[in-house]
Chains A and B, each alone.
Chain A
Amino acid sequence: MSFISYLVNGISLGSVYAIIALGYTMVYGIAKMLNFAHGDVIMIGGYVTFMIMSTMGLSPWLGIVAAVVVCTLLGVVIEKIAYKPLRGASPLAVLITAIGVSYFLQNIALLIFGANTKSFTSVVSIPDLVLADGQLTISGETIVTIIASVIIMIAMTLFIKKTKTGRAMNAVSEDKGAAQLMGINVNKTISITFAIGSGLAAIAGILLVSSYPALTPYTGAMPGIKAFVAAVFGGIGSVPGAMIGGILLGVIENLSKAYISSQLADAIVFAVLIIVLLVKPTGILGKEIREKV
């Protein structure tokens, strides 16, 4: 019974990784850059909700909406100010800038909210699910996290596959020049991608701190890196890959904590990544580099 409990919690944690990884992988697919500040957007989302709910005492729904709006705008602004001027610059310059933006966001949060850990009040108010005569308890947060991530994944898949904007994103990710020849505004498409990724990061952040209620300026850093690992694990640039990678990562992490060692869990996660990349360098669902003349 405890195995099922560990597994369900792993899926829940993995769902959060998957939502964050979606942002990583979409931005990588379209702007061909690793946005290492993505994890810190999660933390900003957490603080916005915290302020609305705990400081101002308003409803959690308002907190969620505010966090999504703030993070969406933040994502667009970061792209405009920090990354757009570097389009065409060497990937290394962009990478260093992204790390810089990450530290910038952490320190802004430190300045505004202080270093003290804030105890986040969960946005979830549904009761825990008790199964098998009390042997198995699944928390309301876990249930909401899994349901939310399933909804997000279905919505994102439909969005990318069925809408005109989604099709434009695919086109830009494959060939920017040819996309422009179709009349697609590449800059706008990149902006939209950052907006969506950052909005999703806000939701991921709220779900994360609802389950693990300690909020600090560094709350987003580790989940951000894990989600990056998940995105690479699943095949960076691939949306279903990010989902599979995220959930697998969460499950591996939680089961390692439960059965091997809670200290070694992160090491095991990264070891699995290394092994996967050794066997399949493009990740689980990564696209092979294929060229046709």
Chain B
Amino acid sequence: MAMLEIRDLEVYYGVIQAIKGISFEVNEGEVIALIGANGAGKTTILHTVSRLINSKSGNIIFEGRDITKIPPHQLVEMGMAHVPEGRRVFAYLSVLENLLLGAYTRKDRDEIEESLQNVFKRFPRLEERKKQHAGTLSGGEQQMLAMGRALMSRPKIILMDEPSMGLSPILVSEIFSIIKEISASGTTVLLVEQNAKKALEIADRAYVLETGKIVLDGPANELAENEAVRKAYLGE
């Protein structure tokens, strides 16, 4: 059984249909990439999965439970974390406070401290800056904070929305190798990326979106060789 299953999802913004009947699944341990041009509906899908926006029809099944109607804040406790587009760190709170908010639903004090140390081990820059307001961090550091904050909930699956956006090439590589590490440590990853090349490098499987529909899917390495994908998304 898939860990996360999306069935015939349709999402509207007012009268405009953004997602036109999409089905896909994410199995435990996989890294799944959703790729596609700006406006294809990638972010909308993630927002619908984490219940920030409502779907018109279709189902979202997470670990066997239909989550299509439950309030968004309950998903964290069920094991889903979402690193949103544009990081959305709490700019006026300190780095440490941001990370502790990531563990908001947890009640195990000692283990929260342990998770915090793990995050600091993975992102040493965050420990150096833990007292600083998150708004004063650089874009790359904010991305690391957003990822660390999501990890603080000890998620089973982590949704990542454009983690490489606006970052320098060196940082992009760093962020992607961290995503690989997160996956290696046992967390399932659903990744939305405009940087299709990088996304296909680390993903197991991928879905290609065009104006609200899935037009192609398959193992990431095969898609990376696909003529149409290379032309449209890899700039070749």
A and B associate in one complex: yes
Q: Which residues of A contact B (CB under 8 A)?
A: 164, 167-168, 170-171, 174-175, 177-186, 287, 290, 292-293
Contact partner of A167 (CB less than 8 A), chosen from B84, B93, B142, is B93
Contact: B101 with A180, CB < 8 Å?
Answer: no
For B82, the chain A residues whose CB sits under 8 A away are 181
For A292, the chain B residues whose CB sits under 8 A away are 91, 135, 139, 142
Contact partner of A178 (CB less than 8 A), chosen from B75, B77, B84, B97, is B84
In the complex formed, the residue of A with least CB distance to B102 is: A182
Q: Which residues B58-115 have CB closer than 8 A to chain A?
A: 71-77, 81-82, 84, 86, 88-93, 97, 100-102, 104-105
Contact partner of B73 (CB less than 8 A), chosen from A170, A174, A184, A287, is A184
Q: Shortest Cβ distance from A178 into chain B, in angstroms? A: 4
Q: Shortest Cβ distance from A26 into chain B, in angstroms? A: 15
In the complex formed, the residue of B with least CB distance to A172 is: B90
Contact: B139 with A170, CB < 8 Å?
Answer: no
For B105, the chain A residues whose CB sits under 8 A away are 182-183
Could you give 19 example pairs across A and B, Cβ below 8 Å?
Answer: A164-B104, A167-B93, A167-B97, A167-B100, A167-B101, A168-B101, A170-B93, A174-B93, A178-B84, A180-B73, A181-B72, A181-B81, A181-B88, A182-B73, A182-B149, A183-B75, A183-B76, A183-B153, A292-B135
Q: Which 3 residue pairs of A and B lie closest in terms of their CB atoms, listed nearest first?
A: A183-B76, A183-B105, A178-B88
For B149, the chain A residues whose CB sits under 8 A away are 182
Contact partner of A182 (CB less than 8 A), chosen from B52, B92, B101, is B101
In the complex formed, the residue of B with least CB distance to A161 is: B97
Q: In this complex, which of A164, A180, A183 has the most chain B Cβ atoms within 10 angstroms of its Cβ?
A: A183
B186 contacts the other chain (CB 8 A) = no
Contact partner of A183 (CB less than 8 A), chosen from B97, B104, B139, B142, is B104
B166 contacts the other chain (CB 8 A) = yes
Known A181-B81, A182-B102, A290-B91; 6 more pairs at CB < 8 Å: A167-B104, A174-B92, A180-B73, A182-B104, A183-B74, A185-B71
A170 to B90, CA, bound (A): 8
Contact partner of A174 (CB less than 8 A), chosen from B76, B81, B90, B142, is B90
Q: Interface size of B by Cβ–Cβ distance < 8 Å?
A: 31
- Taking chain A's interface residues, is the majority helix, strand, or loop, or is none over half, making it mixed? helix
Contact: A180 with B84, CB < 8 Å?
Answer: no
In the complex formed, the residue of A with least CB distance to B137 is: A292
For B104, the chain A residues whose CB sits under 8 A away are 164, 167-168, 182-184
For B86, the chain A residues whose CB sits under 8 A away are 293
B194 contacts the other chain (CB 8 A) = no
In the complex formed, the residue of A with least CB distance to B107 is: A164
For A183, the chain B residues whose CB sits under 8 A away are 73-77, 104-105, 153
Q: Shortest Cβ distance from A285 into chain B, in angstroms? A: 12
Contact: A290 with B135, CB < 8 Å?
Answer: yes
A111 to B24, CA, bound (A): 61
Q: A170-B93, A174-B92, A293-B86 are in contact. Are A180 and B52 (CB under 8 A)?
A: yes
Q: Which residues B204-218 have CB closer than 8 A to chain A?
A: none
